[in-house]
Amino acid sequence: MATDNLSAVVYAKNDLRLENRPVPEPGPNEVLLRMAQVGICGSDVSYWTKGAIGHFVVLAPMVLGHESAGVVAKCGKNVTSLKPGDRVAIEPGVPCRVCEFCKKGRYNLCPDVFFCATPPDDGNLCRYYTHAADFCLKLPDHVSLEEGALLEPLSVGVHACERGGVTLGSSVLVCGAGPIGLVNLLAAKAMGASKVCITDITENRLRVAKEMGADYTILVDTNDAEKLAQQVKEVMGGMPDKTIECSGAETSVRLGILGTKSGGTIVLVGHGPDEVKIPVVNAAAREVDIRGLFRYANNYPAALDMVASGKINVKKLITHRFKLEEADKAFETARTGAGGAIKVMISCE
């Protein structure tokens, strides 16, 4: 058995270290994975630069990484669904399976969920990692490990579109053209949206969004949400049925409410300040439904089908690639957005 388990560990704010940890043994229902590809998420960057996200605070050294795929190296004694050599995407949240939320199928809301790289749970930006076998999804031969890792953010998009009721013929506004905004764009198109408009504060990301299928793009250059809502209406030829807000910025949330058609739905995906000022009476009077979103539940299979069938090409999201030994450089690239960075991938092999 290998002894090299190089791991990217955050100790505190602005304290990221590479260290060799013991190679773990899989439990009866787990598999030991030889990690292959891990994408850097905005949450990883926040834990590194801020030491916290909301009430999730780094109080002890924590391995980063949760957008991931790997190869099965060893199986626990009860595992029959996988075998050594299988290539898998890793769904990073393993719930308790017995609470009311799990039994209703909304296991993303499980209060006892283990979630990779969310304090105090270690992630998988390392050489070797153990995970519940039933939360590892075997990849078809023609789906790459990079694509497998990107099923994690894509599942957020699929879940958001489901929560918003995106279906054949929907007109959709996506606020924010970062990685999560872009996967929502991809998911909305794959799920039948006829028109998708996406907003952002940077031209580069809007250019990428256009290349990935956005019908309309709007460069945000004002904090006037009413003005932006009118601009959306003019550009799209009417107000959108659905809005998926992916930035968390107050202006963007206000835009989402004001710019959504009466009777429509806005899904809040982006996490910004704990409190924002929103036109709630406007939403109530026009019956605009405001829905929250937390990760995903039962969306990995659909996300994989979309990629495997060719309906969605997630590879366009990847702008930079680094080795695990270059983790500091990779995180700095993700933090600054240098070189037009959108999705930074780290190879752990």
- CATH number of the structural domain spanning residue 131: 3.90.180.10
Residue 54 binned pLDDT confidence (cut-offs 50, 70, 90) = confident
Q: Would you say residue 30 lies in a domain?
A: yes
What single DSSP character describes residue 298? S
Residues 126 and 171 in one domain: no
Residues 98 and 34 in one domain: yes
Q: What is the CATH number of the domain that holds 274?
A: 3.40.50.720
Q: Would you say residue 306 lies in a domain?
A: no
- Give the bridge partners for 6, in sequence order: 20
Q: Would you say residue 239 lies in a domain?
A: yes
Biggest distance spanned by C-alpha atoms of the chain: 64
Residues 190 and 266 in one domain: yes
Q: How confident is the model over 136-191, as pLDDT tens digits? A: 999 999 999 999 999 999 999 999 999 999 999 999 999 999 999 999 999 999 99
pLDDT at 1 over 80: no
Q: What is the rounded CA–CA span in Å between residue 172 and residue 195?
A: 6
pLDDT at 12 over 60: yes
Residues 11 and 144 in one domain: yes
Residues 10 and 144 in one domain: yes
Q: Would you say residue 301 lies in a domain?
A: no
Are 324 and 344 in contact by the 8 Å Cβ rule? The answer is: no
**pLDDT value, residue 55:** 87
- What is the number of residues in the chain? 349
Q: Would you say residue 303 lies in a domain?
A: no
Sheet arrangement for strand 15-20: 15-20, 6-12, 62-63
Q: Would you say residue 308 lies in a domain?
A: no
Residues 325 and 280 in one domain: no
Residues 332 and 210 in one domain: no
pLDDT at 84 over 60: yes
The average pLDDT across 265-277 equals 94
Q: Would you say residue 204 lies in a domain?
A: yes
Q: What is the rounded CA–CA span in Å between residue 40 and residue 328?
A: 12
Residues 22 and 125 in one domain: yes
- Average model confidence (pLDDT) across the chain: 97
Residues 269 and 317 in one domain: no
Residue 276 binned pLDDT confidence (cut-offs 50, 70, 90) = very high
Residues 116 and 238 in one domain: no
The average pLDDT across 113-138 equals 98
Helices (H) and strands (E) in the chain, counts: 11, 20
Q: Which domain holds residue 136?
A: 6-149+313-347
Residue 155: both structure tokens together? 């599942």
Residues 191 and 317 in one domain: no
Q: Would you say residue 302 lies in a domain?
A: no
3-class DSSP assignment, residue 319: strand
Number of domains in the chain: 2
Q: How confident is the model over 30-47, as pLDDT tens digits? A: 999 999 999 999 999 999
Residue 135: both structure tokens together? 């939360």
Which own/partner pairs from 143-147 qualify as long-range (CB within 8 Å, at least 24 positions apart)? 143/304, 143/307, 143/308, 144/315, 145/36, 145/37, 145/69, 145/70, 145/71, 145/87, 146/37, 146/69, 146/315, 146/318, 146/345, 147/69, 147/307, 147/314, 147/315
Residue 2 binned pLDDT confidence (cut-offs 50, 70, 90) = low
- Give the bridge partners for 93, in sequence order: 115
Q: Is the pTM of this model over 0.85?
A: yes
Residues 16 and 143 in one domain: yes
From the list 92, 130, 84, 89, the residue with the least C-alpha distance to 114 is 92
